Every structure is written in structure tokens, then in C-alpha cells.
Amino acid sequence: MRTNPRKFSSPASAEKIPWCETGIFLNERPSYTLDPIFHSGAYYVQEASSMFVEQAFHQIEHSTNRIVLDLCAAPGGKSTHLLSLLKSNDLLVSNEVIRSRVSVLNENIRKWGHQNVVVCSNDPADFSNLEGLFDLILVDAPCSGEGLFRRDASAIQQWSVDNTNLCAIRQHRILADIWPALKSGGYLIYSTCTFNPEENEENLKWLAESNDFESIRIPLQENWGVQEMEIDSLFGYRFLPHKVKGEGFFLTLIRKKDGNDSYSIPKKIKSRLEKMPTQFAEIRNWLTTENSDFFAKSEFLIAFPEDKISVLNALSEQLRVISFGLPVAQFNKNDLLP
């Protein structure tokens, strides 16, 4: 599991996941659904290998006011991880195309307790009009799931050569659709939970054929057991279950060199946010909001960074925004329910 540093500290005696500062291994699997600490967002149950995203993130050049997209986000493991790594003046856009999975994503984001986040449900092609907006895009692509064979027998039964080929084609489309939305100088983290090169290294080589980018090397510790792959100066990182304490996983990090270096936010977009009614001003004492303010949406009061309102308005023009910010209270006439 991975702890929420704003809410919980892992036991000092716990075995640490070496590539994730807040990740720990458990000796046994408790019943999470019966744990109120879990429901309060104090920790997230996540596969250890997937937490390697943190090492990729640490290779990204530091900047402020970053706009980050987690494209295939449900159920929310990597989005909550990114929220813990990002600064309060950054903004995370957490997207899930499959509508039936959005509610789970939205719930996990809300539990994590951050204000600098927008949840949406869109196809990757819908981001094409946001050219050059994102400083970092994480694509944890849908794949054939070979990395789950050890723990999930149904993944073996569902596997076929045709399915792996279909997944590779789908991944090509996802990468091609989302590439324009990444600004020049921005970073792309691409990952899958599968082994075969067609969905991993071959996708990286395919992307390099028509786009200009730099492959970023991620430092490794020998005792991690992670394999570094290098093909034509392109680096990838493979997790094999018999060599790491985790399931199968692949990740690569690249830095874009072509395209737009920024997105111009239209100034004439009408804001969809209403300021909090003055009679509820007491809510300001409930939460440390840093650079955020409170807004009304339906019957809810929501904390959201004031300097990201223009970005939210631009996203709302192009995307199906499900939620934004942190719901703090619900009001009914003059009553206020935390």
C-alpha cells in the first residue's frame, strides 16, 4: 500500500518499497473495506511495481504551475500518487474514458483530499484541441495484462496473440491522439502491465519514427531487480515478477522536442463558478486552503485554486468535466453539512 503523507505515517517497522518513499509491503492482506482509515483516504492499496512512476517523476525538471494529465486514470492509483508528488500550485487533470469507472476514480480522488485536481471523462482524441497545454502526461495504457498472470488466473485465460496485436493498435491511437496536447519540452510517462515488446519497446520506436523526443534514463539501484532496456538510445524499464517484489510492469519516460511550447487560454470564456455565498464564510476556518478559494456548485461548496479557474474554464469548454477541487460541505438553505 501507499500512504497519504497528508493524513498518515506508515509504521516504522514496515518493509519499505524501495522506489517509493510512501510505499510499504504488508505481511498480510487486511479487509480494507472494513477499515475506516482506508475510507478516509489515509492510504491507497496499489501494486508495488506501479509505484515506480515516482522515480520517473523525479527525473523531470522542476518547474512551477505545472498542468499534468493522467489520461487513463481509473481507479485512481497513479492519480493519487501524482497528487502527493505535485506542489499545491500545480494542477492535475485525471481522466477516464470508460464512464462506468469514473465514479470509482472520482471517489478515490475525493478521499485523497487535494484541491488542485479536475476529474473528466473523455476519449484521448478529445484533448487534441488543447494543443501544448500539458507539462506532463501519464499514459498508463490499457494492455494485454501479461504482468498480472501470477496473481490473476483469468488474465491468462483472456490472453491471445490477436488481443496483444489489438492492444498495440489501440496504444498507437492513444499516443497519436494525445501527443499534440503535450507542450514542447514536456514529459510523457508511458506504462503498461504487460511484458511483450509490441506493447512496450515497439510502441516507443513507432512513436520516434514521426516525432522528435529525448528518451530519459532513470537511475536504478541494483538490488531493486528492475531491468533497463535500451534500443536505439531509447530506454525502458521492465519489472519481471521473479526478479522484483511486485507484478509485471513496463515504464518509459520521454521529453518532447517538437510542437507548441504553450497553450493560449481564451480570455472570453465565461466562468462556470459561483463564489461561495457570504453566509457560509465560517467554512474558511475548516480547511487550510493555501491559494484556493471556495465556490458553489449545485448544493456543494468546493475548494479550488483561484489561479487555475481560467484553466478549468478552458477544460470545461473542450471536455466532459465530472468534478473539480475538493468538496468541503453541502448546504441546504441556511444549513451547512461538513
Q: Which residues are catalytic?
A: 193
180 exposure class (CB count in 10 Å sphere: 0-12, 13-18, 19+): middle
Residue 178's nearest CA partner among 337, 72, 310, 89 is 72
* Cell numbers 457570504: residue: 278
> What's the half-sphere exposure (Cβ side, CA atoms, 13 Å) at 145?
15
Cα–Cα distances (Å) from 286 to 167, 206, 282, 328, 338, in that order, read: 47, 51, 8, 9, 9
Separation of alpha carbons 122 and 135, rounded Å: 19
Closest C-alpha among 257, 320, 69, 53 to residue 174: 69
* Cα–Cα nearest to 110, from 94, 87, 88, 89: 94
List beta partners, residue 39. Answer: none
